[in-house]
Structure 1
Amino acid sequence: MTAELTLTVDVAAPAELVWDVVTDWPAQGEWMPATRVETTSDGDGRRLGATLSAVTGVGPLAVTDTMEITEWDPPRRCVVRHTGAVVRGDGIFEVVPLGAERARFVWSELLDLPFGILGRAGWPIVRPLMRAGVAYALRALARRCEEKHRAHG
């Protein structure tokens, strides 16, 4: 079963700046709680085929999420394929310009639920928690982008 989660946030900053912030993989921990991301292929991970690894959580509750960039269309869209043991499916980052000084960031997850029937039964419980965590991260992302825009604008 595939589960979908999509959230958006409007940002008072240019689309290109939002793109630069959301695709700065090692800096994602500055706006995504309890997450560390690193590139696992050569370079900065900003290209088709690049691989990434994210660890989300603390201690024994941490989950490693390995990913490969399967679509790269800067500064508008990036799709990653989650390839880990627990997190599988596609993650989609989209930046939509709303004029010269505003953008909308859309984060979608199309997840293949793990653990068979247990995963399907647990999704109604996990979904609101995941939604709350992503919404929190998106508000932090917007603040970070807006602060960078004010500092450089």
Structure 2
Amino acid sequence: MTRVEVGEAVEVGAPAEVVWHTVTDWASQGEWMLGTRVRPTSGGDGRRLGAILEAVTGFGPLGVTDRMEIVEWSPPRRCVVRHLGRVVRGDGVFEVLPLGPERARFRWSELLDLPLGRLGALGWAVVRPAFRAGLVFSLRRLERRCEAVYRSGA
């Protein structure tokens, strides 16, 4: 297995607590995360260590199901999920850093275990630019959503 890392960060005009709450509202992630729907499967809202989440990423009838377990839960700063699927394996990391009372930085990193040795690494080289573009697009949507939530006082 080869492990690769891809990550991006965005600065948000909202307090760290608003960013954290928005990012970990799993059921609403599809409103900012490109082509993804997430739901907790272990009961409750999934905001706890050991919670199991299920994401479906794709468009139309084409999609990949990604089961994840929260393996680190340090609110309101850091959450690590372990991808448990056949296709997607590795760790996803969400980190929120306060930059002041009304500003925060959110960093999303994926540490992915590529299957198929050299063939998987070659496939990743092809897919990586599109993956990164989707990550950046999603983070811009997250930024707008957090700022709108903060301005509305919700």
Which range, TM-score by smaller chain? over 0.9
Matched, 1:25 2:45: no
Counterpart residue number, 1:122: 123
Instruction: State how 1:132-147 maps to structure 2 within 5 Å.
Output: 132-147=133-148
Gaps of 5+ in 1: none
Instruction: State how 1:21-100 maps to structure 2 within 5 Å.
Output: 21-100=22-101
The residue identity in structure 2 corresponding to 1:25 is W
SS of the aligned residue for 2:139 comes to: helix
Deviation at 1:124, TM superposition (A): 1.1
Q: Which whole-Å CA distance do the structure 1 matches of 2:60 and 2:139 have between them?
A: 24
Q: Which whole-Å CA distance do the structure 2 matches of 1:30 and 1:59 have between them?
A: 16
Q: Tell me, yes or no, if the aligned pair for 1:87 and 1:114 is still in contact at 8 Å.
A: no
Could you report, residue by residue, the CA deviation over 1:82-121 in whole angstroms, capped at 9, with x for unpaired residues? 0001000000000000000000000010000123332111
Gaps of 5+ in 2: none
SS of the aligned residue for 1:48 comes to: coil
The residue identity in structure 1 corresponding to 2:102 is E
Counterpart residue number, 1:103: 104
Stretch moving more, 97-106 or 117-126? 117-126
SS of the aligned residue for 1:18 comes to: helix
Q: Tell me, yes or no, if the aligned pair for 1:36 and 1:55 is still in contact at 8 Å.
A: yes
Q: What TM-score comes out, normalization by structure 1 length?
A: 0.97
Counting strand residues as a fraction of each chain, which structure ranks higher?
A: 2
The residue identity in structure 2 corresponding to 1:54 is A
Could you report, residue by residue, the CA deviation over 1:21-70 in whole angstroms, capped at 9, with x for unpaired residues? 00000100000121110101011000000000000002453111110000
Q: What TM-score comes out, normalization by structure 2 length?
A: 0.96
The residue identity in structure 1 corresponding to 2:86 is A
Matched, 1:150 2:151: yes
Deviation at 1:125, TM superposition (A): 1.1
C-alpha RMSD of the superposition? 1.1
SS of the aligned residue for 1:137 comes to: helix
Counterpart residue number, 1:113: 114
